[in-house]
């Protein structure tokens, strides 16, 4: 079974198991993930927003446009990477995902990572970081490689944070610029 078929099966499992039915009911559709199943880079956000809920694809709103710009600065396109979120349905009124919702989706996110086997997993924002490394603070570890459970993580601020706080824009661009060198020297254990 190829990687895309495996990812499709994980997506179907979420639907079949009716994960977070309250969220599913309030959302338009499941936003599972998008991109290259053979990617060396996986980006993980927290949850879909309004535009993502409409299109069924992660990071297509303003934060997604900034993510695309950042990818371009390092010579990559969305088709080169895989993008997903912890929570696969849009929370009502774009509220933060609840701990119970993140916990419900974590096994499926772990399965996505197991299938893709990225060299580098990039957490976007504190929610994503704290699902894997709960004791770390994004303001202290952004742009610094973290190892956990045999995986390499690069915590970055969420692109939306740079839209609300212009001072973070350059920080995010600077941290993003580290990715090509990290990919060259990163090996999966």
Residue 188 has pLDDT above 70, yes or no: no
| CATH number among 3.90.180.10, 3.90.850.10, 3.40.470.10, 3.40.50.300, domain 3-185 | 3.40.470.10
3-state secondary structure the chain: CCHHHHHHHHHHHHHHCCCCHHHHHHCCCCCCEEECCCCCEEEEECCCCHHHHHHCCCCCCHHHHHHHHHHHHCCCCHHHCEEEECCCCCCHHHCCCCHHHHHHHHHHHHHHHHHHCCCEEEEECHHHHHHHCCCCCHHHHCCCCEEECCEEEEEECCHHHHHHCHHHHHHHHHHHCCHHHHHHHCCCC
The residues spanned by each domain of the chain are 3-185
Distance of CA 179 to the CA centre of its chain: 15
Residue 10 has pLDDT above 70, yes or no: yes
pLDDT confidence of residue 166: 86
pLDDT class of 189 with cuts at 50, 70, 90: very low
Task: Tell me the average pLDDT across 17-42.
Answer: 97
Q: What is the pLDDT of residues 90-125, one digit of tens each?
A: 999 989 999 999 999 999 999 999 999 999 999 999
Distance of alpha carbon 4 from alpha carbon 119, whole angstroms: 18
pTM value is 0.95
pLDDT class of 185 with cuts at 50, 70, 90: confident
Distance of CA 58 to the CA centre of its chain: 8
Q: What is the pLDDT of residues 136-169, one digit of tens each?
A: 999 999 999 999 888 999 999 999 999 999 889 9
pLDDT confidence of residue 186: 59
pLDDT class of 132 with cuts at 50, 70, 90: very high
Distance of alpha carbon 56 from alpha carbon 49, whole angstroms: 10
pLDDT class of 187 with cuts at 50, 70, 90: low
The neighbour count for residue 132, using CB atoms within 10 Å, is 21
* Partner residues linked to 155 by β-bridges: 123
Task: Tell me the average pLDDT across 41-46.
Answer: 97
The two structure tokens encoding residue 26? 């309030």
């Amino acid at each position: 079974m190829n990687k895309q078929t495996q990812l499709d099966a994980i997506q179907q499992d979420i639907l079949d198991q009716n994960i977070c039915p309250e969220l599913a009911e309030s959302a338009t559709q499941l936003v599972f993930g998008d991109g290259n199943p053979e990617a060396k880079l996986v980006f993980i956000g927290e949850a879909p927003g309004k535009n993502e809920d409409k299109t069924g694809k992660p990071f297509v709103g303003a934060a997604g446009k900034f993510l695309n710009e950042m990818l371009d600065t390092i010579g990559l396109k969305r088709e080169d990477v895989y993008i997903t979120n912890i929570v696969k349905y849009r929370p009502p009124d774009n509220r933060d995902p609840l701990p119970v919702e993140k916990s419900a989706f974590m096994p499926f996110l772990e399965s996505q990572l197991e299938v893709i086997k990225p060299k580098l997993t990039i957490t976007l924002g504190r929610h994503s970081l704290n699902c894997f490394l709960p004791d770390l603070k994004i303001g202290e570890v952004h742009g610094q490689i973290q190892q956990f459970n045999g995986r390499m993580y690069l915590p970055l601020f969420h692109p939306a944070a740079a839209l609300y706080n212009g001072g973070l824009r350059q920080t995010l661009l600077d941290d993003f610029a580290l990715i090509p060198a990290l990919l060259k020297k990163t090996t999966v254990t």
